Structure 1
């Protein structure tokens, strides 16, 4: 890494990227992007999946080198050839997908690969003391000797931040930092961010959640198709202006609730009676009718995902029964659930929903292979037409269906997960956090898709931590608390987000 002093007028930006161009295999990803962050600023970075945000930040991290353009840190030009160079310059990254080792302690994770040593041996006691001092300086109450795997998600996020600060980061990139956090954990994170900026640290905050951006950021930059289309103070912009900049068009408010007629006269499509499991489900009963969207609401740990896993046969029931079309069914495995017309889009698309190194085509056809066989072989012709139809229906954006699915943006990966289960033509579709980590344009597409599937007569269960989304899409909302049903609410009777929040908290 080299650093050449340059004269700057006034206080130099904490970090500045000028005229950044980057292409991969002839495909232009960034086209002359300018981006700067002021000292002590929280600067939001927004854009659709595939807009170039990740590539721009990877250039700042030293993962990629720009084809042209310059990087400046506090008025000095940098040449970043590796992530080691970026760390040495004071650029830290907090990833959306945690990079921690669950079997190690908080202190061991903070100093991983940079362990304090004594006489050539790792000094765990010194690591604990340094970690304790660092966490105290952050204003965080966290035991540095605790094993990370035993801690709640919020503590993982705080450990990630401490890990970056331990390397003397003055610029901190946060990628969807609240994606897995409960409300109180989000509040604690934002309080920490405020303390960090007061200490002179600048934050680049990447998020698709507009309410968070307005709450925490000073300015916002929007990228679209590899170019910068907007940089301004949040106080000067409306949410509608930001959304329009992100998608390049005026977007109708997909989060506006649309009352729907649901016929509940006959037997429910799904009836779950007194479900109980060793995973924390305790006497849960619920119904879903044809054409109905039922939202599951609750705090982290309330049992939302665990109920879904029981219905899909992932977790074994200790007692209770599941009825489909009025008849009792034994759902003892995901294969049995699929045979009975149930499909589930899991919460973590990368770990549970996709085979990342396989192609888009292979991922889409995975649940359909038995039905596509002609003798001992797969019918490639039928497979090709099926994939083409799914790509068109879900508007999956990819240069080729032969590309590994890991190369897709987060939004398009989510569409692949949804598409592969829609291909099984389920009667009941369970969606766990279906819009987590996707941009506003993709979120609108997914919400409209869910409404359309319900209009076709499918039963839908939606789990979401985003209450505006749950209120926008649900016909009924079932509130879970401590693994049991605390309330069943008709959407028309819920006045606003605050009312739902009170119901969730049991106030």
Structure 2
């Protein structure tokens, strides 16, 4: 239930006009409700923060306001205009600009050109470069930064590219700016600069929606905080009425879960160390981390968006320019710098984006299973269909995959079956270490259970070291033996999932840097 505001608070807030209003907004993806009757108002000259666990619905809701996501039901109005369907152009026409983690700069263009894309100043029908540069300098002065107008955008830091996005929004006379995890990739000084700019925009009367997992900055910059949980708004009140501990309590819900009953059993004897990681690091993303993974163990990695968890997984897979050392089966090697080098070490990755990075959607399911290992099953460099089908069948048969679908293109499969193809591929390749990035994202509950069981089975029966990054904390607790906690690029904690005092609440304490004693005081 929402907590009531005092009459004085309501009166003071309504001195500012409601600029954006959402009423009973729902959104379904393949039968899964991502938003459930969300109603929120935004005001001029106010920073309104939206917080919640990963998957709570806040970014999906922001997408409806930006015109990226079409609501299934409900109504959205912005500055007197109705927003209907997935239409970013209509949202921009209403005065709404969204700034995402994934920036929209054109790398080969200059900093100045990117700010004025679509709105170049002209003279006699020709782009007026001198006027554009002069205006760029004015914007730099306004935001208190120094930047070379002629610098190629791909040579700039993420923070400077993000600033260009804000300049573009300001130049377009945006009346509302939606920030989705804007500080996730920024350092401390860059974060402070961005928050100062947001305060400046607020002072000019701009409506600000601010999604962030960093609760300290939420409390520092916002005027109002709305908490999402499981696709619903569960609390909304002025920032002055919140503490960090209260926010986490609302995110978790009143029924704080204790330990789950389906934890893996503690092994009777300690298995041998399979992979030792020493000081693995990625400049600007991941600080040196060291840990050990044992044969037959499932190691979970938890953390907020931008915490470094995916950077750690990608570094192990050779997808980031990492430094450090790995020791596999007592053989020491430098951290892999390419996916091929990782595979040579026996390290395989199931990527988060299975469609974009894992599968060739136009090829058959069977071909996708043996992808990367075709030379070993080809005879005289010729791949024969019966041989492909036999190899693919053997790889996926234990994962509940319908063998009759092996001839079907991968694009025709459900998300769960596509993920089973990825599992089958690495079963066929026989790695020593299997990395899985968000392995249950976007699949139904039945398939989730099968995928988690398959990963657990791969560890127990085949002796693999399995590493899982997941936003689904309850799933991590069910499948993992230990969980590493990442925060701000650092490995800050290691939790033993066989321990009775490890639960979702404990993970969030570490991820948010909230002290357990403080949170328990809030429950009292």
Q: Classify the TM-score, shorter chain.
A: 0.5 to 0.7
Instruction: Give the structure 1 partner of residue 3 of structure 2.
Output: none
Instruction: Give the structure 2 partner of residue 107 of structure 1.
Output: 112
Instruction: Give the structure 1 partner of residue 328 of structure 2.
Output: 324
Instruction: Give the structure 2 partner of residue 227 of structure 1.
Output: 232
Q: Does 1:78 align with 2:82?
A: yes
CA contact (8 A) 2:367 2:388 kept: no
1:178/1:449 Cα in 2 relative to 1: closer, same or farther (>3 Å)? farther
Alignment of 1:15-414 (within 5 A): 15-23=20-28, 29-66=34-71, 68-74=73-79, 76-80=80-84, 82-251=87-256, 269-270=274-275, 288=292, 290=294, 309=315, 312=317, 323-328=327-332, 334-335=339-340, 337-338=342-343, 340-343=345-348, 354=358, 375-377=387-389, 378-380=391-393, 383=396, 385-386=398-399, 401-402=416-417, 412-413=440-441
CA drift of 1:149 comes to 0.8
Instruction: Give the structure 2 partner of residue 470 of structure 1.
Output: 492
1:126/1:358 Cα in 2 relative to 1: closer, same or farther (>3 Å)? farther
Mapped to 2, the partners of 1:55 and 1:401 lie a distance apart of: 21
1:224/1:364 Cα in 2 relative to 1: closer, same or farther (>3 Å)? farther
Mapped to 2, the partners of 1:130 and 1:350 lie a distance apart of: 43
1:340/1:77 Cα in 2 relative to 1: closer, same or farther (>3 Å)? closer
Any stretches of 5+ residues in structure 1 without a counterpart?
Answer: 1-7, 255-260, 389-397, 455-459, 475-495, 499-507
1:154/1:13 Cα in 2 relative to 1: closer, same or farther (>3 Å)? same
CA contact (8 A) 1:21 1:68 kept: yes
CA contact (8 A) 2:298 2:480 kept: no
1:233/1:365 Cα in 2 relative to 1: closer, same or farther (>3 Å)? farther
CA contact (8 A) 1:174 1:205 kept: yes
Mapped to 2, the partners of 1:292 and 1:379 lie a distance apart of: 25
> SS at the partner of 1:14?
strand
> SS at the partner of 2:105?
coil
CA contact (8 A) 1:368 1:424 kept: no
CA drift of 1:26 comes to 6.5
> SS at the partner of 1:230?
strand
Mapped to 2, the partners of 1:325 and 1:381 lie a distance apart of: 27
Question: How many equivalent residue pairs?
Answer: 426
CA contact (8 A) 1:293 1:462 kept: no
> SS at the partner of 1:190?
helix
CA contact (8 A) 1:343 1:430 kept: no
Mapped to 1, the partners of 2:235 and 2:156 lie a distance apart of: 39
Instruction: Give the structure 2 partner of residue 3 of structure 1.
Output: none
Mapped to 1, the partners of 2:162 and 2:242 lie a distance apart of: 29
CA drift of 1:379 comes to 3.7
1:121/1:341 Cα in 2 relative to 1: closer, same or farther (>3 Å)? same
CA contact (8 A) 2:350 2:358 kept: no
CA drift of 1:221 comes to 1.9
CA contact (8 A) 1:272 1:287 kept: yes
CA contact (8 A) 2:235 2:250 kept: yes
Query: TM-score when scaled to structure 1?
Result: 0.64
CA contact (8 A) 1:267 1:326 kept: no
Mapped to 1, the partners of 2:159 and 2:362 lie a distance apart of: 32
CA contact (8 A) 2:311 2:320 kept: no
Larger deviation, residues 152-161 vs 421-430: 421-430
Please give the per-residue CA displacement for 1:234-258, whole angstroms capped at 9, x wherever unaligned: 333444543454354544699xxxx
Q: CA RMSD in A?
A: 5.5
> SS at the partner of 1:93?
strand
1:182/1:70 Cα in 2 relative to 1: closer, same or farther (>3 Å)? same
Mapped to 2, the partners of 1:113 and 1:20 lie a distance apart of: 31
CA drift of 1:67 comes to 5.3
CA drift of 1:180 comes to 1.5
1:120/1:449 Cα in 2 relative to 1: closer, same or farther (>3 Å)? farther
Mapped to 2, the partners of 1:192 and 1:357 lie a distance apart of: 43
> SS at the partner of 2:177?
strand
Any stretches of 5+ residues in structure 2 without a counterpart?
Answer: 1-12, 260-265, 378-384, 402-412, 421-436, 497-511, 515-524
> SS at the partner of 1:191?
helix
